Structure 1
């Protein structure tokens, strides 16, 4: 039996996935199974960890962004999160993410 998809609202800024919209803006609407939500939460935790690593390295004087070893990890987790949200999102979510340049119909294959 296939698991039912439910509507969720994802906030990248707060790292939350909610069943009710908490804010009028800044959230992505998706339809996902419990397993897909769990997977998306794992991406968000990985992104949070990568963000902290890059935060500490950013405080090294004269270290440029492209030489920071943790920045690619952060960038990759952002792309993975947005790709999954794009896949699960409604049309408005997909259009918004496409406009951001992270992913779109051309970059998902």
Structure 2
């Protein structure tokens, strides 16, 4: 069953993955295997951890954003997520991500 793809619906703000379009608000539709979705869930979980770490660090005024390794990790994970969504997404998803301009889609 792991190699078989099915449709999933992704809410990027809440880091939620739905199996049906009516389960909640979603931004992107993808076709993915179980293992691909599990990997995406792990990335989302790490994003949640990074969000909290960034929140606490943001209260220390002398720490600049771009010098913090955790912030670079957060940015890299976001790129991985969007890259994965682009690779697995339907045409509407890919078109939207291309318009965002955050990926070098020529390399995909």
**TM-score where L is the length of structure 1:** 0.86
CA distance in 1, matches of 2:84, 2:42: 12
- Which one has a larger percent helix, Structure 1 or Structure 2? 2
In the alignment, does 2:19 pair up with 1:19?
yes
CA distance in 2, matches of 1:2, 1:61: 47
Matched residue, 1:88: 88
Tell me the SS of whatever aligns to 1:95: helix
Q: How far apart are residue 104 of structure 1 and its match?
A: 4.5
Q: Deviations over 1:3-54 (max 9, x none)?
A: 211001001111111011222xx51000011111101111111111112111
Contact 1:54 1:68 in 2 (8 A): no
In the alignment, does 2:72 pair up with 1:72?
yes
Tell me the SS of whatever aligns to 2:36: helix
Q: Deviations over 1:53-88 (max 9, x none)?
A: 111111111432222332101101100111101100
In structure 2, the gaps of 5 or more residues are none
Matches within 5 A, 1:94-105: 94-105=94-105
Matched residue, 1:36: 36
Contact 2:31 2:88 in 1 (8 A): yes
In structure 1, the gaps of 5 or more residues are none
Runs of 4+ with deviation above 4 angstroms: none
CA distance in 2, matches of 1:49, 1:107: 29
